[in-house]
Structure 1
C-alpha cells in the first residue's frame, strides 16, 4: 500500500460514514417519527430537512465514490481490491436508488415546504421514501464494512 491508497481509503471511510450515519438515523428515527406525524408536519419539516441534506450531502457522497474507486485501483492486494469493488458497487447501487426514488420525492417535499403547502399525496410520498431507506442503509453498511478491508489489508 502507498500514501495515496491510505489517504484515499481514509477519505472513503469517513465520507461513506457520513451518509451511512444519515441513512441509519433516518431509518431508525425519522421514518417512524414521520409515520406518526401529520401530513403538514411531514411536508414542512422533511421538506426542510431535504433542503439542507440535498444541498450539503452530495459532497461526501461524491467523495465516497471517487475515494473508494481510487483506493481500490491503487491497492496492491487482491482481497482489498475485492472489498473495494464490493464497496464501490454498493455505493453506486445506493446512488441509483437515491436518484431514481429518493431525490424526486425530496424535490417535491422541498417545494412544498418552500411554498408552505401540503401536497395531497404527502403520506404516499413519505411511504415511498420510507420503502427504500432500509435498503439504502444496508448498502451503506456493506460499503463501509467492505472499505475496512482496504484499510485492514496490508
Structure 2
C-alpha cells in the first residue's frame, strides 16, 4: 500500500469530478438550452456563467492534474501507473482543448456580458464552444476511469 499515491488519487478523483460534472452538465443541459435561446440571452447569461466558472474552476482543474501526476509517479503497481498515465494524458488533452478553444470564447462572452453587448457572432461562438464540450466530457470520463484504476488496483 502506498499512502501518498492513495491520497493523491483520491484528491485527483474528487477534483476531476468537479470538472467532469460541470462539463457533463454543460453537454447535457446548457448546450441544448443555449441553442434555443436568443443571441442576447446567450451572450449575457453564458458570459456571466463563464465569469464565475473561469474564476472558480481553475483550482480543481489544476489540482486534478497535479494530484494525478503525483499518484501516477508514486504508485508502485504497474496497472495503477498505466491508469494514472492514461488519466494524466486525458487531463492534459482536456486542458489543451480548453485553452485553445473554450477559454478564448469564454473571454469574449464574459466581455460581452460585462459591457451589455451582443457580439454579432454570438451564435457562431456558442456553436464553436458546443463543438468541443462532448470531447471535454469524454476526456474527463477517461481521466476518472484511469484514476479509479489507481484506487481499485489494491
Q: For this structure pair, what is the TM-score category when the shorter chain's length is used for normalisation?
A: over 0.9
**Unaligned runs of at least 5 residues, structure 1:** none
Matched, 1:44 2:71: no
1:94 maps to: 94
2:103 maps to: 103
2:117 maps to: 117
**Unaligned runs of at least 5 residues, structure 2:** none
The CA RMSD measured in Å over matched residues stands at 0.4
Alpha-carbon distance between aligned partners in 1 of 2:49 and 2:99, rounded to the nearest angstrom: 17
Deviation by residue 1:38-83 (Cα, 9 ceiling, x = unmatched): 0000000000000000000000000000000000011000000000
Which segments of structure 1 move beyond 4 Å, counting only runs of 4 or more?
none
Q: TM-score, normalised by structure 2?
A: 0.99
Tell me by how many angstroms 1:3 deviates.
1.6
Q: How does 1:1-150 map to 2 (within 5 A)?
A: 1-150=1-150
Alpha-carbon distance between aligned partners in 2 of 1:19 and 1:86, rounded to the nearest angstrom: 17
Q: TM-score, normalised by structure 1?
A: 0.99
Alpha-carbon distance between aligned partners in 2 of 1:81 and 1:3, rounded to the nearest angstrom: 15
Query: Secondary structure at the residue paired with 1:12?
Result: helix
